[in-house]
Chain A
Amino acid sequence: MTNGWVDIKNADMILVMGGNPAENHPCGFKWAIEAKRHRNAKMIVVDPRFTRTAATGDLFCQIRAGTDIAFLGGLIRYAIDNNRYAKDYLAHFTNAAFIVKEGLKLPEDGLFSGFDPATRTYDPATWNYEAEGAPNSAGLPPKVAFDLTLQDPRCVFQLLRRQYSRYTPEMVERVTGIPKEQFLQAADLFTSVRIDGDMTKAATMLYAVGWTHHTNGTQMIRTAAIVQLLLGNVGRAGGGVNALRGHSNIQGATDMAGLYHLLPGYLKAPAASDVDFKTWVARITPGASKPGAWDSLNYWANTPRFAVSLLKALYGEAARKENDWAFHYLPKVDRDCSWVHLWDDMYRGNVKGMLAFGMNAVCIGPDSQKNIDALKKAEWLVVGEIYPDETSEFWRAPGITAEEMKTIRTTVYRLPCAGFAEKDGSTTNSARWLVWKHAALPPPGQARLDQDIVAEIFLRVRALYRKEGGRFPDPILNLTWPYSDPLHPPLSELAKEFNGKALADLTDPKTQQVVVKKGQQLPGFALLRDDGTTSCGNWIYCGSWTEAGPQLARRGTEDPSGLGVYPNWGWSWPANRRVLYNRASCDLSGKPWDSSRTQVWWDEAAQLWSGHDVPDYKADSKPQDHMGPFIMNPEGVGRLFAPLAAMVDGPFPEHYEPVESPVANVFHPQQPTNPVLKKLASPDDRFGSPAEGFTVVCTTYRLTEHYHFWTKNNPMSVQLIPEPFVEMPVELADELGIRGGDKVKITSARSYYIAKAFVTRRIKPMTIDGKKVYQIGMPINQGFRGIQEDAGKDARTIANRLTPTVVDPNAHTPEFKGFLVKVEKG
């Protein structure tokens, strides 16, 4: 989230799209209700189903799954045509005025300039700004040509206008199935916060995996960000683009780089082409790119400090300037190792051993059967879990015969881990708040703390390398392990390690006075150095555990501004800022756009930025210096246009159909799907089409009463929702002779799923470009091990047997929503 849960109460307008917080985030959604009750906020809900969120909204639009860019693109067009955008904000806080160099082609025919059909990739050379006064070189120009009047035909604003001129209300209706009049009602309502450019009000957008689970998911979120920048809603209380997120520490897992392409704090993982430390940091450290007269903090310019401090945290004394900070201890990535590729590489026999802790890989999918088939080929699997799950028992999945079981050679270790109440440590909620929790009791039976298991595995491997030698043991032998109890590393010590400490006395460069003594915890990332005198395991978490103690364990309930900032509850990254980009909550002179919601402001007397929140800005940058509020972008401003390789599939979002779609792409039938999309080619990777009888659009979702594949072990959750079901329109059920409670079989090109029919008017048949299209929805929370499953009370099929392995080329997230199925009476 750019903002936070409590902050939603400050909104005047709420668009919920790609999420269903009333059911999936009930205790956070109360802040949307708070905004409705106390600010008279309006709420628009766009979803394939009439959810409980929709039931509380002022306007509901039923959308065809996967067509969100068409809707949001229509919103951009409406806002521009009706003068409902934030003019000063747009000109000065976004790249609207930046001029794009000649040669960019917009995708009227479905393709931007630079496409190579042979490799299905783009050369983004033409997706760049025009340099001011000098010829363009390969990267972003340090000085960018611009036109503050926004009239130049090649300025970003005019290109944006042209790009979305095709997204007329008629086209929105043809693609999304939302009637033109209803779309116009929604567009009018949402943009009403910016009538004639008045900046007082703020609108927020709330989304979840309904936007990420598509082959153009990242671009959906970008379209939302463009709308919010256009309307000047980012950085403001009650505004922003807010990912609600589904799991208690999904934000933290990303921050801490539980993903192949990252190192902690969003540093890009080294690639094979990074032949040394210098090459790596040069590649991942951007240079400022902005109009000559403007200023840009370009905070990523500090990347070398973050990188050296990380290597010092990992390798201590073994990371020295002379050995390139032990850069070659880090593995270099040369391929896509993301989720579906990991499984594909196991399927093809390359990944031989896997450790799977704290999730249920087989059920999570996509294409559960492919994951099961992959595990059959692995040599060994270690599962750390608290319940018996489908992943550890893949070898006895329904359908595997006694004979086949004998041929499955995989050795599986199942280790009993600790539940949430048995572990301390911090989690990071979707508002970026790190909050410490305490352990209430020890793990039961022989179960062990997860960190103890990983520590002991690592230390045993290290002991083997010490004893026997082996291939390149250096990173294993030299990894720092300074814990007071090496086999049971206290999480408080790990938290202090990723906060970071001084390895020498640190002096203030201006006064030469020592500000942090050797050995002390660092107060914040501004003190990180690239000379080896600081160590820090995750720069964005620097400040969470200082000499003043664990900031992430604070429980101060005061909220002086009344805006829901709660500056003393837990600790929010970065630097305890609660709303990101909050300098944009003020006008050019540093005065809040809305005097009743003052977050930060320029204090002329003190010559500093001050506020109820921590300014997300250089504290002493005077307004007249024109430093951009989006300090993490090299431009210093928000990106309506994403230059160069920021996105692999285009500098502006364009509507593409899901990989399995019931209709043609009405914008460009010759280019229906995302052009850079690549399908995996194993025999398990099958795709269906309407011609083969797969005509119904299916979307997966979650329930209030269940949490993923975990609570099927919880008696109360099972009592509330005991069985899998498929939600389908009355009209479809009538056509097929299905009544509520009947057993139905849902089949995709991958596999089938059996559940009870839940016949409903919450999903209506849709008309898509003149064609009748049905959508169905199914929760994913069951499998073949659980209370009901073990009692033989359901079909023991897994919902994700149906879903395809095709992914969003930017974020590598699979298309769990909007695939095609057949529906039959079971």
Chain B
Amino acid sequence: MSTIKALVAGLCASILVGCGQGEVKHFDANEYPQALSDWGIIELQGTQLKVNDSAVVYELNTALFSDYALKLRTVFMPVGESANYHPSETFDMPVGSIISKTFFYPKDSEGRLLTTNTWQGDPKEVSTSTHHLVETRLLVKQTGGWDAISYIWQGQEAYLSITGKLQRLTLANNKQLNYLIPSRNQCASCHATNHTTKTIRPIGIKARHLNRASNLYQANQLTHWQSKGMLQGVTRPVEANALWNDESASIKHRARSYLDINCGHCHNAEGAADTSGLLLDYEDHPKSAMGYCKPPVAAGSGTGGRLYSIVPGHPAQSILSFRLDTDNPAMMMPELGRSLIHKEGVELVSAWIAELEGECI
């Protein structure tokens, strides 16, 4: 086997063009390579973004809003190993697993970034002649647990960044975007979903996010993972979050799904934002904990002068709508990961609050 790999590697080294499907490599935490391509997961070949054949591309139902960036997600597990299913928690994945998420934007002829989306999720459609690559984040499962690192694209390669970076990008409307590439510790700000244990976990690798059809593989993603031997122990029924813009789903389901992925990593019973007493993950909580007529605890100017997180029927009086509808870092939610307002997200959450019934005294 190793001889074959060596031969293939040798072949790649000599030909390269048209090959590009080398081995995915695993590195220990103190040996992370400077160049993303060393991992073998994802790289640029010419203008074309290439994903290793042994990695599986996946999508989420509603995803975290990240300044309108598009995201190409891949998951790799060592050959012969698989993840263990859990109905509500992040799947337990084998050591050696690597998850990648590449953030990019379509660009216009002048290189300005577009916030409109026509991409259908196929990596073959991602080319640097029509897209601007920003960063690729990796979650790497070591023996001690998950590790989060980020690579910043610069020309043909992406380079490891421990401290993160504030990138000033220009949008098609000529507005500036202060895009924050997270530092290593900032990765934990979201991925340590249990803020007491501070254990880093993938956020999207949950049944409710993955349970959807894959455009790329023409199958339900969980079924596809099972058929590839990547997932075991699936029990049904499987929860599914809505796509936030799927008008066939109820506004309630879409809004709860949106809050779950955008807020629930901190606003859960063990999360960093449990200090606020406001729980926005897709679990059953008392209404007041979900924000109904709940006064803020330490929101500062983030209240926007409003009295409750949610005033049923009145989004314009609800702190939740205010904090989504501002780009002031002192007031906005989430605190990290965006510098623009997701107008469509604000509209969805506001539409949900508008249809809620009840009264705050």
> Does B bind A?
no
